């Protein structure tokens, strides 16, 4: 009985106007085909290859952070809108029979990042080496992609490729997976 009384007293001690618990940040990703997905618990994930000096980078690594980092500029994890501009470029790849096939693919050429009513236009540029691997000077580093990782509203883990920093990786060849805008709320 004293346990119930203590619990009841504790409940009454909470003020009626107590602020609600903070809701998790939501990133809404808009695709070129008009569809969208909302992610909670999201992080930006910078994928890069690394390798010892004198060797080709081959170890795939990631750096996960909540803020957007393009080049040496950083934007906060909330209240930001990112719009991605594309240009169609021609590239060559090996075909099924060993012949070289030319194809046209969309390539991100610019980012319009809006925060507090101000828009910064930047080109897709990988973060600096120190951000990716710290003070490790004995590694070769090759940045590949900027991804957004999180969970959908139904709890499914999802990773979306936002932009590519290298010809070795493509983001969004199809309209259904080409990101055109991200709203960070």
Domain ranges within the chain, ordered by starting residue? 23-184
Residue 17 confidence (pLDDT): 43
Confidence of residue 66 (pLDDT cuts 50, 70, 90): very high
Higher pLDDT pick, 70 / 170: 70
Is pLDDT at 101 greater than 90 in this prediction? no
Phi, psi of 10 (to 5 degrees): -65, -40
pTM of whole model > 0.75?
yes
- Sorted by sequence, the CB contacts under 8 Å of residue 141 that are 6+ apart come out as 48, 49, 50, 57, 129, 132, 133
Collapsing DSSP to helix, strand or coil, 130 comes out as helix
């Amino acid at each position: 009985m004293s346990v119930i009384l203590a619990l009841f007293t504790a409940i009454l001690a909470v003020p009626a106007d107590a602020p609600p618990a903070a809701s998790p940040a939501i990133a809404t990703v808009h695709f070129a085909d008009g569809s969208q997905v909302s992610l909670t618990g999201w992080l930006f994930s910078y994928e890069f290859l690394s390798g010892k000096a004198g060797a080709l980078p081959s170890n795939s690594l990631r750096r996960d952070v909540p803020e957007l980092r393009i080049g040496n500029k950083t934007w906060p994890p909330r209240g930001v809108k990112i719009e991605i501009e594309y240009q169609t470029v021609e590239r060559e790849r090996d075909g099924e029979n060993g012949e070289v096939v030319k194809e046209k693919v969309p390539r991100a050429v610019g980012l319009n990042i809006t925060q507090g009513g101000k828009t910064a236009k930047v080109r897709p540029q990988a973060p600096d080496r120190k951000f990716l691997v710290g003070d490790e000077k004995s590694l070769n580093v090759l940045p590949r992609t900027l991804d957004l990782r999180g969970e959908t509203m139904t709890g499914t883990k999802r990773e979306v490729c936002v932009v590519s920093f290298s010809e070795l990786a493509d983001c969004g060849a199809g309209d259904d997976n080409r990101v055109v805008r991200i709203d960070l709320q």
